Structure 1
Amino acid sequence: MTVSRPPITVPRAVRTPETAAADHCGRLLTALERFRAEKAATAHHWGARLAAVLSAGGRLLAAGNGGSAAQAQHLTAELVGRYREDRPPFSAIALHADTSSCTAIVNDYGPDELFARQVRAHARPGDVLVLLSTSGASGNLLAAAAAGRAAAAEVWALTGPAPNPLADAGHERLCVEAATTATVQELHLVAVHMMCDAFDAALTPADPLRTR
Structure 2
Amino acid sequence: MSEEIRGSILRSAEVLQRMAADASCCDTIAAMAEASVAALAAGRKLLLCGNGGSAADAQHWAAELVSRFHYDRPGLPAIALTTDSSILTGIGNDYGYERVFARQVEALGVAGDVLFALSTSGRSANVLAALRAARAKGMVTLGFTGAEGGEMPPLCDLILRVPAGVTPLVQEAHEVAGHIICARIEQRLFPRPE
Mapped to 1, the partners of 2:57 and 2:114 lie a distance apart of 16
Tell me the amino acid that sits aligned with residue 181 of structure 2. Answer: M
Aligned pairs (5 A) from 1:183-198: 183-198=169-184
- Name the count of aligned residue pairs: 190
1:8-61 Cα shifts (integer Å, max 9, x gaps): xxxxxxxxx123213211211111111112212321221232122113210100
Shift of 1:205: 5.2
Mapped to 2, the partners of 1:102 and 1:179 lie a distance apart of 28
1:36-94 Cα shifts (integer Å, max 9, x gaps): 12212321221232122113210100000000000011111111001111111111100
Would you say 1:121 and 2:96 are equivalent positions? no
Retained in 2: the 8 A contact 1:167–1:175?
Answer: no
TM-score by length of 1: 0.85
Would you say 1:139 and 2:129 are equivalent positions? no
Query: By percentage of residues, which structure has more helix?
Result: 2
Shift of 1:174: 0.5
What RMSD over aligned residues (CA atoms) do the two structures have, in Å?
Answer: 1.5
Mapped to 1, the partners of 2:186 and 2:88 lie a distance apart of 31
Mapped to 2, the partners of 1:23 and 1:99 lie a distance apart of 38
Bigger drift between 165-174 and 96-105 goes to 165-174
Mapped to 1, the partners of 2:187 and 2:80 lie a distance apart of 23
Retained in 2: the 8 A contact 1:55–1:90?
Answer: no
Match of 2:14 in 1: 30
| Secondary structure in structure 2 of the residue aligned to 1:165 | coil
Retained in 1: the 8 A contact 2:110–2:137?
Answer: yes
Bigger drift between 59-68 and 47-56 goes to 47-56
- Name which one, 1 or 2, has greater alpha-carbon Rg: 1
TM-score by length of 2: 0.93
1:83-132 Cα shifts (integer Å, max 9, x gaps): 11111111110001111000000001111111000000011000000100
Tell me the amino acid that sits aligned with residue 187 of structure 2. Answer: A
Q: 2:4 aligns with which of 10, 13, 20?
A: 20
In structure 2, relative to structure 1, the CA distance for the partners of 1:163 and 1:102 (3 Å cut) is closer
Bigger drift between 27-36 and 196-205 goes to 196-205
Retained in 2: the 8 A contact 1:83–1:196?
Answer: yes
| Percent of aligned pairs sharing the same letter | 42
Q: 1:45 aligns with which of 8, 27, 31?
A: 31
Retained in 1: the 8 A contact 2:131–2:155?
Answer: yes
Shift of 1:204: 5.3
Would you say 1:153 and 2:139 are equivalent positions? yes
Match of 1:56 in 2: 42
Mapped to 1, the partners of 2:188 and 2:30 lie a distance apart of 10
Which segments of structure 1 move beyond 4 Å, counting only runs of 4 or more? Answer: none
Q: 1:164 aligns with which of 141, 145, 150?
A: 150
Mapped to 2, the partners of 1:87 and 1:163 lie a distance apart of 35
Gaps in structure 1 of 5+ consecutive residues: 1-16, 207-212
Tell me the amino acid that sits aligned with residue 155 of structure 2. Answer: A
